[in-house]
Every structure is written in C-alpha cells, then in structure tokens.
C-alpha cells in the first residue's frame, strides 16, 4: 500500500485537495486512466524542472525571456506591474492591453519578511531604465498590502517616468485581479487614474 499512500499524500499539495479527493484522484488514475496519469506525471516533472522566471519581467516561462518580453510588437510605452503570473493571464485574456509587464510574485509585507529585494524591485528599476516607458500602471490588488506596494513603487519610480497610474475601481475592494472577470478588468485598466502619492 505504500506507493498508493504516497500518491494520495502527494496529491494533497494541490490547492483545495484534501485526503478524500486525493484518494479519489489516485484511484481513478490507477483504475481507469493509467495513460492520463503517466502523462500527468511526465508533464509535471518537466514543468517543475524547466519553468523558471523570465529574466526581464519575472513572469513564469520555460525560456530565458518570456513570450511577451520578446514580442517586438508590444507597446514599450507602457509597463504594468502586477502581483502574480495569474494577473498577467487575466489581463491578457481580457485583451486590450498591449504593453509590457513586471511580475512581483507577492506584495510588500514586512511582517512576512517580504521587502523590495524579494519582489525584485531593483530589476524593475533596471527594466524602466532600459525601455523608458511613458507610463507605469500599478495593477497590484486593491488590498491594504497591494496599496502599500503601489505607493512604495510610485515613489521609487517617480523621477523616472512621466505618468504613474493606478488600476481603477471595478476590481472590487479587497478583491483579487485574478478573479475579476474580463470586462470588469478591461474597464479597470481603461479607467486607471493618475497617482499623486508624493508628499
Ligand atoms: Zn518576460
């Protein structure tokens, strides 16, 4: 039974999967879908070994530079800062935005030991120096920490960019960009407002 137990245990790393669902998944694969299980195992291993962070924007990719960053048709006048790769997917799927991204993989949270260094803000600064965008869109989530992060970045880049904007309402307060529907997200991006955090 050891291998089956190990499999049931391992499946519980998936979000929302507890012992019961893990057991059902394991048995389904073993009883009815060996080839699907094998394919899952192989692609999982490959992804874990090969997916890394884009050297430019920190989004997840299997190449050194991701597809968005290497796309010369993107609009280099805009750079959108988001918390997670899921936010990039949500904005891309909503359509309408053609600029570049920078993915923080989190938000400033001193209590959890997440500071500017952990978010790669030095890399963000070099990226801004490199493409000299006209506008930085701060699309961190409208949570307390997301706002604090946007505030910090706006101060950090204020000398380097003409326009700093914050994603507009529409993303519900305390809500997450990832779970905002495409139409709402498009409006939130279009209705972004200038930031004047500077005191
Ligand atoms: Zn990239």
In 3D, which of 2, 161, 167, 31 has the Cα closest to residue 87? 167
What is the sign, positive or negative, of the torsion defined by CA atoms of 66, 69, 73, 74?
Answer: positive
How buried is 77 (Cβ within 10 angstroms: 0-12 exposed, 13-18 middle, 19+ buried)? middle
Distance 63 CA to ligand 1 centre (A): 9
What is the predicted pLDDT for the residue at 47?
97
User: What CATH number corresponds to the domain at position 30?
Assistant: 1.10.8.420
Question: Is-contact 69 56, C-beta < 8 A?
Answer: yes
Range of the domain at 142: 60-194
Q: What is the pLDDT of residues 74-115, one digit of tens each?
A: 999 999 999 999 999 999 998 889 999 999 999 999 899 999
Q: Is residue 157 part of a domain?
A: yes
User: What CATH number corresponds to the domain at position 158?
Assistant: 3.40.1360.10
What is the predicted pLDDT for the residue at 191?
75
Distance 34 CA to ligand 1 centre (A): 36
The reply to whether 38 and 10 lie within a common domain is yes
Q: Is residue 31 part of a domain?
A: yes
Q: Is residue 55 part of a domain?
A: no
Distance 56 CA to ligand 1 centre (A): 5
Q: Is residue 25 part of a domain?
A: yes
The reply to whether 8 and 33 lie within a common domain is yes
What is the predicted pLDDT for the residue at 61?
98
Q: Is residue 38 part of a domain?
A: yes
The reply to whether 34 and 114 lie within a common domain is no
Neighbours of ion ligand 1 (CB under 5 A): 54, 56-57, 59, 66, 69
The reply to whether 33 and 79 lie within a common domain is no
The reply to whether 42 and 127 lie within a common domain is no
Task: Report, as ranges of residue numbers, the positions in the chain whose pLDDT lies below 70.
Answer: 1, 169-175, 196-199
Distance 152 CA to ligand 1 centre (A): 22
The reply to whether 69 and 42 lie within a common domain is no
The reply to whether 177 and 99 lie within a common domain is yes
Give the total number of structural domains in the chain. 2
The reply to whether 21 and 101 lie within a common domain is no
- Model-level pTM? 0.83
Distance 65 CA to ligand 1 centre (A): 5
The reply to whether 71 and 37 lie within a common domain is no
């Amino acid at each position: 039974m050891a291998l089956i137990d190990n499999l049931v245990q391992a499946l519980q790393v998936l979000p929302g999967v507890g012992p019961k669902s893990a057991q059902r998944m394991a048995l389904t694969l073993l009883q009815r879908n060996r080839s699907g299980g094998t394919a899952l195992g192989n692609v999982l291993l490959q992804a874990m070994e090969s997916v890394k962070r884009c050297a430019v924007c920190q989004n997840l990719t299997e190449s050194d530079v991701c597809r968005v960053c290497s796309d010369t048709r993107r609009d280099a006048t805009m750079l959108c800062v988001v918390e997670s790769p899921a936010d990039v997917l949500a904005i891309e799927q909503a359509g309408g935005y053609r600029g570049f991204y920078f993915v923080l993989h989190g938000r400033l949270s001193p209590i959890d030991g997440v500071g500017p260094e952990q978010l790669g803000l030095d890399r963000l600064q070099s990226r801004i120096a490199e493409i000299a965008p006209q506008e930085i869109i701060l699309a961190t989530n409208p949570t307390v920490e997301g706002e604090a992060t946007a505030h910090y970045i706006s101060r950090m880049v204020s000398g380097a960019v003409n326009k700093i904007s914050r994603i507009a309402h529409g993303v519900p307060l305390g809500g997450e960009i990832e779970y905002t529907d495409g139409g709402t997200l498009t409006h939130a991006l279009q209705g972004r407002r200038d930031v004047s955090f500077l005191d």
